[in-house]
Amino acid sequence: MSIYKKGLGALIITTAAVSAQPAAAATPGLQVEILGVNNTLVRVTEPGKYILLPVQESNEDARINVLVDGKVEKTLNVRLAKSKVDYTVPFNIERYKGHNIVLSVITKQDRASVREAKDDACWSAIAVADTFDTTNREKFRPAYHHTPLYGWMNDPNGMVYKDGVWHLCYQWNPYGSKWQNLSWGQSTSRDLIHWDHQSDAVLEPDGLGMIFSGSSAIDPTGSAGFGKDAVVALYTSADASQIQSLASSPDGGYTYTPYPGNPVLTLSSEARDPNMFWDAKNNRWVLTLAHAIDREMLFFTSPDLKTWTLESNFGKGLGAQDGVWECPDLFELEVDGEGTKKWVLLCNINPGGPFGGSATQYFVGDFDGNKFTVDTLADGTVPTKWMDYGKDHYATVSFSDAPDNRRTVIGWMSNWQYAAEVPTTQFRSANTLPRDVALFRAPDGQLYMSSKPAPEVAGLRGKLALNVRGTSVGKTTKTYALPTANNGICEIVANFDTKKCKTFDIVLKNDAGEKVVMSYDARAHTMSFDRTQSGIVDFSRDFPSVTVAPTYEDNNKISLQIFVDRSSIELFGDNGRFVMTNLVFPNKPYSTIEVSARGGKARLENLKVYSIK
Ligand code: FRU
């Protein structure tokens, strides 16, 4: 349908409607001029909402300068399709209505002639359109976990609760399903389960760089000059350096305006992911910043979010150190049943997690407004503690200003080892279920952090599909059917007593022979999660794995709550005392659950399976 015309030295392709087409199918116009082997101009000749950019994931990024009335408005990096189109991404041009829009596209391909460049698949598929289809139809797209509408997502950012609304921003590439063009996307929810997605990024790369991770909070005194109770954000501007920038929200957290005086904090070493809270006692802000390569956290204070004083640093040589330190969070929690409070410092690390790649470690201690002091063991050493014992739990941080004294966290449900290779297309990555954290004292005398599903998650529970009560389980496997509607998504609840056996196994299986094996070891007091045969595992050698969690009990009685979505399993043990989050990509939904015990008999107090609403 394209018309090829010979221009003066350039090759012009127009995708304007061809006269024989019915009016409804008319494509609003674009004029594509191939200027040279690696340079093309795309002029918008008719108005519309989006330019649909055709992407081929295996291709290199093309640099697209978007010119509005002749001025560079933004620069995008897009893997424009060369030999085939994997999917398209929308570039919103409605916001430039009435202005002259030109894309100057610079590619990096090896080619002999301009004629070759014209054959790139993107030039026959690029189009102006008024709609972009974000319908959730990918097989592995979660049914009840937050995902971006399309495109790549990593860390949760700018999480704040205001006026009944949970604001969840996230590291987002609106122009492809791999890490690039880092912006903040945003979704909002009133119940932490149903999310409304904003179609445009709320912070986009600017002259200071891409928008890396950061946090948002309510400014209760108007200290930063944007008004009392204004939502403010701090984020890392990342280009050749990583510096910290401020933004304010004119509308209670839905949109953001970068502060004209940015950056507000610079260091000459790599530091990122600012996370702040208002310290009401001292009438100032406290900021934790990841001093990434130095593998420590820095603490700053400020009266107004614009001028910062370095107060202290923490972590050099402590905890897990086999990777960069990222995405901190610092908050106070009550100790269950003890009437006391302690501070927790979250410290995400990549690589260096317990099963390879990225993971969330934390430290328990005290914070006096200037300095964090970690609890040590009797011998003076600092134990390494992990928040989740799966492979797919990273960049976890909490919502600011959550109601009812809650501390609610959300993580990125993937791992830097293979996040860009997982078998999805139009989107990549989901978030964990929201979790409320607390501190508990384990039989070893130490304090650990529990993560239980946020109370709102109970609202997902549908019909009771299986109810097994009080049965003895030995080496003969007992098999029960799982609900297969809606791709097998379900919640499994199980309570078992293993005082009289060595191991208790729960296996989820499909009829393609794929399975996930979860085993409790009564002697070691550990739970393992084996996904080596869980389905598609060969996209990365780091994906097939067995992860193991300490269960922090000494009575061999375990309760499990397991959330199965289309490509993830989250196992919460003993009310969140141990948690394992692992992705799985079964070719068919798991259709049976098998239980058995080795080395004696186990008592299965109950096994319930619920469908998900
Ligand atoms: C963590 C991280 C952050 C950084 C962001 C960039 O996953 O590396 O440190 O701000 O991702 O996307």
**What pLDDT digit, counting tens, does each position of 337-389 carry?**
999 999 999 999 999 999 999 999 999 999 999 999 999 999 999 999 999 99
Q: Residue 273: left (phi > 0), alpha (psi -120 to 50), or beta?
A: left
Query: Within a 13 Å sphere around the CA of 596, how many CA atoms are in the beta-carbon half?
Result: 11
Query: Phi and psi for 27 in degrees, rounded to 5?
Result: -95, 120
Residue 485, pLDDT score:
86
328 and 319 Cβ atoms separated by less than 8 Å: no
Residue 10, pLDDT score:
54
82 CA → ligand 1 middle, Å: 29
The finding on whether 215 has its CB within 6 A of some atom of ligand 1 is: no
pLDDT tens string 192-224: 999 999 999 999 999 999 999 999 999 999 999
345 and 333 Cβ atoms separated by less than 8 Å: no
The finding on whether 209 has its CB within 6 A of some atom of ligand 1 is: no
Q: Which of 256, 245, 349 is nearest to 287 (CA)?
A: 245
Q: Which of 439, 284, 350, 326 is nearest to 276 (CA)?
A: 284
Residue 502, pLDDT score:
97
Q: Which of 327, 347, 416 to mutate to test the pocket of ligand 1 (most atoms within 8 A of CB)?
A: 327
* Alpha carbons 26 and 434: distance in angstroms, whole number: 45
Which atom of ligand 1 is closest in space to residue 179's alpha carbon?
A: 12
Which segments in the chain show pLDDT lower than 70? 1-28
Q: Which of 326, 358, 415 to mutate to test the pocket of ligand 1 (most atoms within 8 A of CB)?
A: 326
Average pLDDT of the chain to the nearest whole number: 94
Q: Which of 152, 180, 211, 212 to mutate to test the pocket of ligand 1 (most atoms within 8 A of CB)?
A: 212
The finding on whether 530 has its CB within 6 A of some atom of ligand 1 is: no
Peptide bond before 453: cis, by omega within 30 degrees of 0? no
0.85 surpassed by pTM? yes
pLDDT tens string 11-48: 665 544 333 332 222 345 899 999 999 999 999 999 89
Q: Please confirm, yes or no, whether 304 is among the known catalytic residues.
A: no
Residue 301, pLDDT score:
98
DSSP sequence for 137-183: --TTS-SSS---SSEEEEEEEEEEEETTEEEEEEEEETT-SSS-S-E
The finding on whether 101 has its CB within 6 A of some atom of ligand 1 is: no
Query: Measuring CA to CA, how many Å separate 98 from each of 76, 104, 307?
Result: 22, 19, 41
Residue 111, pLDDT score:
85
* Alpha carbons 192 and 456: distance in angstroms, whole number: 7
The finding on whether 503 has its CB within 6 A of some atom of ligand 1 is: no
Which atom of ligand 1 is closest in space to residue 242's alpha carbon?
A: 10
The finding on whether 171 has its CB within 6 A of some atom of ligand 1 is: yes
DSSP sequence for 420-473: TTSS-SSEE--BPPPEEEEEEE-TTS-EEEEEEE-GGGGGGEEEEEEEEEEEEE
Q: Is the dihedral of CA 326, 330, 336, 337 positive or negative?
A: positive
Catalytic hit among 61, 120, 155, 401: 155
333 CA → ligand 1 middle, Å: 26
- Residue identifier of the C-alpha nearest atom 9 of ligand 1: 326
The finding on whether 277 has its CB within 6 A of some atom of ligand 1 is: no
Residue 425, pLDDT score:
95
DSSP sequence for 468-528: EEEEEE-SSPEEEEPP-GGGG-EEEEEEEE-TT-SEEEEEEE-TTS-EEEEEEETTTTEEE
